[in-house]
Amino acid sequence: MTLLDLNLPQTAADVHELDRSDVETYYIPGGKVYERFFECPLDYQHPSDGRSVRVFARHIVPVGKEDQMHTLPFLLYLQGGPGFECSLPGSIKSGWYATAVAEGFQLLLLDQRGTGLSSPINADTLASLRLSTEEQVEYVSHFRADSIVRDCEHVRHALCRGRAGAASRKVALLGQSFGGFCITTYLSLFPGSVSRALITGGVPPLVDHPDPVYQATFRHMISRNKQYYEKFPRDVARMHAIIRHLNATDVTLPDGGQLTARRFQQLGISFGRTGGFDSVHQHVLSAASDLEASGCLSAHTLAAIAAAQSFDANPLYCILHEAIYCQNGNASRWAAHRIREECFADEFEYRWDRIQRRRDPTAPVYFTGEAVFPWMLDDYAELQCLKDVGLGLAEYTGWGQLYDTDVLAANTVPVAGASYYNDMFVDLRMSEHTAQSIAGFRQWITNEFHHNGLAASPRVLRYLFDLLKGDITDL
């Protein structure tokens, strides 16, 4: 007999998450959206200490299958980053969403803790906690992949409660970029909760600190810069004019940040995405044209540059980025900055006086990629307010394990991943080593796409599903 049989009121704890009447819902083309919030411990090692975070997930059910929520399998999508939320799709009738729906899934789009609507980390939210710098560092240390994965488990338990059979309570995982790092942690911690796993551009390096990562990715950036200047040879002179101007002039962006020469170089992060060369060229062309016409950068050009750089809007990307590679008590200590200065200072020089003293002062000024640097805490308006915690996290040595190589070597979860030959964010050789370290991993290596292959073409996810099914056997 149940509470309903006795005609007694149900408490919130008695109502299944999927049956709650207070969840906000609406339709988009192809699906009904349910906006769900979950209260999760901040620190899963000490869940009773009273600290918590609120985790948000968009739950999307294909139109016409709303009454099957309790039985349809879930595909949980983990976004790239770190520090980026999941955007609401305009439709699930196209792109990878349509592929997943065709495979019979309902979708979960998670805002990872610290992003979007999931207890976001920014200057205001940290200030509201009234913590010391040391306490802020400890607080933010709980926003890495191991905690994100445990949030996913919390959500999975809530949504799959009551399903008959262990298999029906498992979720399928799809991870893009850093989302693939999270999946590898998931397979290390909770492999029994996963029905299958698909990774795009995010088979992580199994390292204990980020130094080897940047040794590899700076070399990729050199290659991409050469390709860029082959396509736009006139941008060599334009970049010289821009860098010279930014070294001699204080330029303030509309949001109050400073457009320095080293910050302008960071536009090169777009080199890792489809169409990235063209978008960077537009910024270079606009800036150089402004300088030729008036000797200064126009409001239009400055606004476009600010809009192209999301470090202020997603500050976790800067202050926690290198920590995604840290294990066994290793601190990052601004690895990219150290590697750049020690090994690649000439290629990525931004100080005009030193550029003029190079062996060939007419050589191109190279753009940087996804690397983060300590001076960003001075050049970006929002990051200025997070300088102390950012510096503290770079020296933090309390990082635990993210991956269990013994568990991965004994993996039984079907897993497939797409690795891109020209990926400048995730080194292919390191990805190959990791794939070979995970039992049963089926790796697709292709030069057809850049890092954003999942968003660029539905073929990527379709291929991975077919790979797991055995429909593709010629790898």
Burial 102-114 (b: 16+ CB within 10 A, else e): eeebbbbbbbbbb
User: Catalytic pick from 142, 245, 321, 451?
Assistant: 451
User: Catalytic pick from 235, 379, 423, 427?
Assistant: 423
Does the active-site annotation cover 451? yes
User: Catalytic pick from 177, 188, 332, 431?
Assistant: 177
The three-state (H, E, C) secondary structure of the chain, written as one string: CCCCCCCCCCCCCCCCHHHCCCCEEEEECCEEEEEEEEEEECCCCCCCCCCEEEEEEEEEEECCCHHHCCCCCEEEEECCCCCCCCCCCCCCCCHHHHHHHHCCCEEEEEECCCCCCCCCCCHHHHHHCCCCHHHHHHHHCCCCHHHHHHHHHHHHHHHHCCCCCCHHHCEEEEEECHHHHHHHHHHHHCHHHEEEEEEECCCCCCCCCCHHHHHHHHHHHHHHHHHHHHHCCCHHHHHHHHHHHHHHCCCECCCCCECCHHHHHHHHHHHHCCCHHHHHHHHHHHHHHHHHHHCCCCHHHHHHHHHHCCCCCCCHHHHCCHHHHCCCCCCCCCHHHHHHHHHCCCCCCCCHHHHHCCCCCCCCCCCCCCCCCCCHHHHCHHHHCCHHHHHHHHHCCCCCCCCCHHHHHCCCCCEEEEEECCCCCCCHHHHHHHHHHCCCEEEEEECCCCCCHHHHCCHHHHHHHHHHHCCCCCC
Does the active-site annotation cover 220? no
Does the active-site annotation cover 52? no
Q: Provide the annotated active-site residues.
A: 177, 423, 451
